[in-house]
Amino acid sequence: MSSLKHKNITPLLGICVEDNELISVYDFLSGGNLEENLHGNSKETAVLSWELRFKPAVEIVEALNYLHNECSRPVIHRDVKSSNIRLSNEFEPKVVVMTVENLHKCFNPQCICFRCYRSVICG
C-alpha cells in the first residue's frame, strides 16, 4: 500500500502491531476528516459550504479512479466513507486506503485473504 502515489491518497508510512494493538501511521492532516467537515461533528470545525464540497468530491473520484484503473495492481477500497477521507488545511482530500479496521482483518489469524486477478482488495 505504501507504493501508491497520488496527490489525493494518504501514503501508509508504517504500522505497528504489539499486544493485539494495531497502529497505522500516516502524514498528519490538520483539517480533520470529511465526515466532521460535512456534518459539523467537531466543535472546532465549521461545516463546509456547498461550494467547498464540490472540489474535494471531484478529487476523491480522481483518487478512486487511480486506485481502480491506473495502478499496476488495481486496488478495490471497499470502505470508502467520509470518515476515511482526511483533509488538509486547504480542504484538499486524502483518501486513507488501509484503515485500522482493514489492517485488523489482515492480521486476524482466522482471516481468509481473497485476491482477485491483478487486484488487491482492501477490507
Three-class HEC string of 18-59: ECCEEEEEECCCCCCEHHHHHHCCCCCCCCCCHHHHHHHHHH
Catalytic residue among 79, 80, 91, 119: 79
Joined together, the cell numbers standing for residue 33 give 476528516
Contact 112, 69 (CB under 8 A): no
**19 given a catalytic annotation:** no
Catalytic residues: 79
